Structure 1
Amino acid sequence: SHVRDCSHLQSLYLISQNDLCLHTPHFFHRTTSVLSKLLFALPNSPLQYPIQGYTVQPLSSSVIPGSGEKELIIKSRSLELLNDVLVKVSYTSTVYHINTGDLGLHSQIFFLVYNNSQVTIATKTFLRYEQLKVLLDSIRKFYSTIKVIVADDNFEPEHITGENIQHYIMPPAQGWFAGRNLAVSQVTTKYFLWVDDDFLFTEKTKIEKLVEVMEAVPELDVVGGSVKENQFYFSLIYEEGEETEGGCLYRKSNKKLHSVPGYPQCFLASGVVNFFLARTDAVQRVGFDPKLQRIAHSEFFMDGLGYLLVATCGDVSIDHQHVARSARYRKFRNPRKEDSEFKLQLHFFKNHLKCIKYG
């Protein structure tokens, strides 16, 4: 393989597997600003501290510029000695937040009036009309008038009827993310609830509980529940790398952060199970990359890292239909080797990454 300089280009493209372009200068022009320059405050005291250009990553320890340690206990009767030691003091962020290095969430008292006009249910269907009809029947059992949007890329489309059901037919086999984009693009309510077409509503599928959490903590963008008592969630950790290499992204399964204030059953995370309530405008800003057609759930949250504040709540759940997958469906559902390779290539170059690790 060989690398060539592409500084004359306006965008970064993967020419082929053996022909890569280094485009670092333009990338950092887009992602940095003058506020990244390190400035120090020089107050009328023995302390000097940075006021700009230094970021403490959430839930991590960072050395103050010029220091060499991350944790210190300082005791001294000598001001001169204390000043000498203070150059090694660090600050540890103890609160996770996507928009700043250290900002705590707060709760507020409110009265919630829930109605169907706040939420739209969205799903995408492919080769599973029988399961879709069971899902729709279960929705109507508990929410008789809520709007449902169905994106459909079947080869032989069937007509889906019912009150407050919007059925959008796509070209065949366009993929999961293309269908998600279509469905979410037609949502006009404040929130939407994403479900798979083979899910099943039960007495524990309480949309209003998820809405309550979202209304109480307006900074939240996505709140996930559990599927058949499986509260899947994960955390994403990004480590910045060198300018020419990019950073590393780590996805850690079953790793959650601290609880949501006022809701001990809910915890912050980076990604959740494929059953979640989301703020429509926030998700529309991130979008679903239509280049990813098959397995792509985690990749949505990777694209949303730093933009979406995500939580998971264990007291709201949905069931899963037990139906054998047809051979035709498995052919499209299971990714091919080239699909997996393309997915990694896309994320490496789109997000300027050196590595992605799963654990």
Structure 2
Amino acid sequence: MRYTCSRKLLGLVLVGGLLAAVVLYSWSPETSTVVDIRSKQGPPEKKLFFGKKISSAYHDISYHIKEDVSSRLPQNACVCLADEETFRLPFSDLLFPRVWAQNLDLAFLKFHPDPEEAKHLRAQEYNKYQWRSYSPADALIIAGANNPLQYPTQGVEVRPLKTIIIPGLGLKEETKADHMVYLTASLGAFDVAATVDGVSIKGEGEKYMTLSSPRLSALNRQLQFVTYTNTVFHPKTADTILFATEGHQSFFTINIRHGAVAKLYNSGYKGEYNISALVTIATKTFLRYDKLKDLIDSIRKFYPTVTIVIADDNEHPEPVAGPHIEHYIMPFGKGWFAGRNLAVSQVTTKYVLWVDDDFIFTANTKLERMVEILEKTSLDLIGGAVREVTGYTATFRHTMSVEKGGEEGDCLHIRRGYYHVIEGFPNCVVVDAVINFFMGRTEKVQQTGFDPRLARQGHLEFFVDALGSLHIGSCSDIIVNHASKIKLPWTKSESEKAYEKFRYSSSNVGNNIHYEGFYFKNRFKCMSSH
């Protein structure tokens, strides 16, 4: 009996110790680097990068692969692997999140009437996408070591059908009887802005031009006047220029594009941020006018003159009136992301704040703080935190990456966490996805857009579409409250029951649209996530 009790006691001690270790692990502060992404004075510093050409002339020299380095190189054959479950404890998923994986090709194609046709169409559309998005400026060009040619490696730009002097051209070699260089283009023509005595020029106004002289100094002086004129219109492309001399050749690109048109907002604020002039609050409502009223009342308590844009797809719309309120009626049940598109499309301020219609502003919902971060950093969008009635505060911080996977598609990997803390804002970090409470630069949010086919559910999809184009942050000290969802079944109103029926529908049609977005539109074959 004593032995049994001792064994039970020992078991309790071991379990208790394990749980204590788990709690301490989960509560330990996360270490991270701190990076300064605040705006700097003056233009960004330009740097030149030079690479070393890897010659194929040494094929007869043996080599030994270093596995720990080569294994980190891209393989163009990504796979999604889920973590195996080793043990099960209370709250183990929360404390030790496992990676799950899903084959999106199977999830989508098993519902498709003609899977092979779907795969063919996806490949066809991907080829068109590559053709549309390709630019010669994307090609890797390596400047060979000890090349006597001097030329710009990057940063040369010309407006369509305009002319520039090509900077930095030169020839560095030993003195000889005659020195000669030539240039070749495909989308433009060469000429000179001035001539130098003793230099012979052939091909002025053509795609191929030769310059030669018995005096190297005269040739180099002439090269300072060489011009390039774009002759084939394209709003955004590049011309690859061949610059060569006897026994040596090099390549560089001239970017051809219209100048970026500024989009400035006359907010009229001086000193402190004028939130009413800088920010519009956007939301979408459906069958929850009581929650919407609470949201508006809470906003007006702190921001009485900020414009609120409401997208409404109720079957029987109710009036939502008041100063600085714009209420837009949509077709019945048009959907969640369609409503987001409508609301955001009507924003005219520099920033748009997205909130759900069942959020409640508090003294911790500091829009000024969000504006300050966006004004002082390179971020395009900043998320806050949402506090539930239980006291739990969520930030939904995630990082994402796309791994190349070959002809079958790529892999999307999503992980909880962040990249680094933002210097000057210790409660803010850089991420790829945030909670459903965020402020963004209006034109950047509009450029990304929201897939209107996602009618009842969707959030992560917006950030997947924004990957690579939006610089995103998350701050834990900017908090909005979430209205309580805890209700006994017999106390729910008819509108609440109807909302749940629409919101949490698990139809195959909705799931298939969800999978199609990832599989076909984004060309993923699988995704993995915590």
Q: Same fold (TM over 0.5)?
A: yes
Change beyond 3 A, Cα 1:161–1:245 = same
Q: 1:168 aligns with which of 290, 305, 328?
A: 328
| More displaced 10-residue stretch of structure 1: 201-210 or 36-45 | 36-45
Q: Is 1:344 matched up with 2:515?
A: yes
Q: CA deviation at 1:329?
A: 0.9
Matched AA of 1:117: A
Q: 2:419 aligns with which of 257, 277, 281?
A: 257
**Distance in 1 separating the partners of 2:130 and 2:505:** 33
Change beyond 3 A, Cα 1:342–1:17 = farther
Matches within 5 A, 1:23-34: 23=124, 24-34=126-136
Matches within 5 A, 1:175-186: 175-186=335-346
Change beyond 3 A, Cα 1:161–1:260 = same
Secondary structure of the equivalent of 1:259? strand
Matched AA of 2:144: L
Indicate if the aligned counterparts of 2:403 and 2:410 stay in contact, CA closer than 8 A.
Answer: yes
| More displaced 10-residue stretch of structure 1: 20-29 or 206-215 | 20-29
Counterpart position of 1:320? 482
Q: 1:238 aligns with which of 368, 381, 402?
A: 402
Q: Is 1:116 matched up with 2:286?
A: no
Counterpart position of 1:224? 383
TM-score between the two structures when normalised by the length of structure 1: 0.74
Q: Which has the larger radius of gyration?
A: 2
Q: CA deviation at 1:33?
A: 2.7
Indicate if the aligned counterparts of 1:154 and 1:172 stay in contact, CA closer than 8 A.
Answer: yes
| More displaced 10-residue stretch of structure 1: 31-40 or 278-287 | 31-40
Counterpart position of 1:291? 453
**Distance in 2 separating the partners of 1:135 and 1:350:** 35
Secondary structure of the equivalent of 1:300? helix
Aligned residues, how many?
281
Indicate if the aligned counterparts of 2:385 and 2:475 stay in contact, CA closer than 8 A.
Answer: yes
Matched AA of 1:179: G
Secondary structure of the equivalent of 2:479? strand
Secondary structure of the equivalent of 2:327? strand
**Distance in 2 separating the partners of 1:111 and 1:348:** 48
Q: CA deviation at 1:200?
A: 0.4
**Distance in 2 separating the partners of 1:347 and 1:17:** 18
Counterpart position of 1:65? none
**Distance in 2 separating the partners of 1:262 and 1:151:** 36
**Distance in 2 separating the partners of 1:257 and 1:144:** 36
**Distance in 2 separating the partners of 1:223 and 1:151:** 22
Change beyond 3 A, Cα 1:114–1:17 = farther
Q: CA deviation at 1:348?
A: 1.3
Indicate if the aligned counterparts of 2:430 and 2:473 stay in contact, CA closer than 8 A.
Answer: yes
Q: Percent identity?
A: 44
Matched AA of 2:135: S
Q: Is 1:354 matched up with 2:522?
A: no
| More displaced 10-residue stretch of structure 1: 231-240 or 137-146 | 231-240
Counterpart position of 1:142? 302
Which blocks of at least 5 consecutive residues in structure 2 are unaligned?
Answer: 1-110, 148-152, 155-269, 388-392
| More displaced 10-residue stretch of structure 1: 29-38 or 348-357 | 29-38
Secondary structure of the equivalent of 2:294? helix
Matched AA of 1:34: P
Indicate if the aligned counterparts of 1:295 and 1:335 stay in contact, CA closer than 8 A.
Answer: no
Which blocks of at least 5 consecutive residues in structure 1 are unaligned?
Answer: 1-13, 46-50, 53-109
Change beyond 3 A, Cα 1:296–1:17 = farther
Counterpart position of 1:310? 472
Indicate if the aligned counterparts of 2:311 and 2:329 stay in contact, CA closer than 8 A.
Answer: yes
Matched AA of 2:296: L
Indicate if the aligned counterparts of 1:190 and 1:280 stay in contact, CA closer than 8 A.
Answer: yes
Counterpart position of 1:248? 411
Change beyond 3 A, Cα 1:222–1:335 = farther
Secondary structure of the equivalent of 1:41? coil
Change beyond 3 A, Cα 1:157–1:349 = same
Q: Is 1:330 matched up with 2:500?
A: yes
Q: CA deviation at 1:111?
A: 6.1
**Distance in 2 separating the partners of 1:334 and 1:204:** 30
Indicate if the aligned counterparts of 2:453 and 2:513 stay in contact, CA closer than 8 A.
Answer: no
